[in-house]
A and B are shown apart, each in its own frame.
Chain A
Amino acid sequence: MTRAEVDPVHIRVRDLHKSYGAHHVLKGVSFDVLRHKTNVVIGPSGSGKSVLMRQIIRLEKPDSGQVLVDGVDYASLEGMALQSKRRQMGMVFQASALFDSMTVFDNVAFPLREHTKLSRKEIRERVMARLESLGIAAAHAKWPAELSGGMQRRVAVARATVLETEILIYDEPTTGLDPLTVLTVDELIAETEEKFGVTSLVISHDMASVFRIADRITFLYFGEVAVSGSPAEVLERADGPIMEFIEASGVSRDFIERRAKEAG
Chain B
Amino acid sequence: MAEAPTAAPPTDPEQRAGQEPEEAIAPGPWERALDWALAPFVEIGTLAQLAGETLFWLVRRPFRGRLFIEQMEFIGVGSIFLVSLTGFFVGAVLGLQLVDGFRQFGAENQVGAVVGMAMAREIGPVFSALMVTSRAGSAMTTELGSMRVSDQINALIVMAVHPVQFLVVPRVVAGVVMVPVLTLMFNIVGLTGAYAVCTRMLGIDPGVFLGQMRWIVDWRDVRMGLVKAAVFGAAIALIACRQGFFASGGAAGVGRATNRAVVQSAIAILALDYLITALILGQGLAG
Contact = CB atoms under 8 A, between A and B. Distances in A.
Interface of A: 8-9, 12-13, 21-23, 28, 30-32, 44, 46, 54, 57, 59, 83, 86-87, 89-91, 93-95, 97-101, 110-111, 114-115, 163, 218, 221-222, 224-229, 239-242, 244
B159 A224 contact: no
Interface stretch (B7-15, B81-89, B193-201): B7-15
Contacts, number: 104
21 contacts: A12-B2, A31-B4, A32-B2, A57-B158, A83-B160, A86-B157, A86-B158, A87-B160, A91-B155, A95-B151, A97-B150, A97-B154, A98-B152, A100-B150, A101-B143, A114-B62, A221-B9, A222-B19, A226-B10, A228-B4, A241-B10
Contacts of B146: 100
Interface in B171-195: none
Contacts of A110: 159
Contact of A32 (B4, B13, B23): B4
A132 to B, nearest CB: 22
Given A114-B161, A240-B9, A241-B13, A99 B155 contact: yes
A162 to B, nearest CB: 10
Nearest to A115: B160
A117 B160 CA distance: 16
Nearest to B143: A101
State the main secondary structure of chain B at its contact with A.
loop
Contacts of A32: 2-4
B220 interface: no
Nearest to B24: A22
Given A59-B158, A99-B155, A241-B9, 4 more contacts: A91-B155, A91-B158, A97-B155, A224-B8
A32 B1 CA distance: 10
Contacts of B17: 44, 46, 222
A110 to B, nearest CB: 7
Contact of B9 (A8, A59, A229, A239): A239
Contacts of A115: 159-160
Contacts of B147: 99
A228 B6 contact: yes
Interface string B27-46: 00000000000000000000
Contacts of A59: 154, 157-158
Contact of A225 (B4, B16, B62, B159): B4
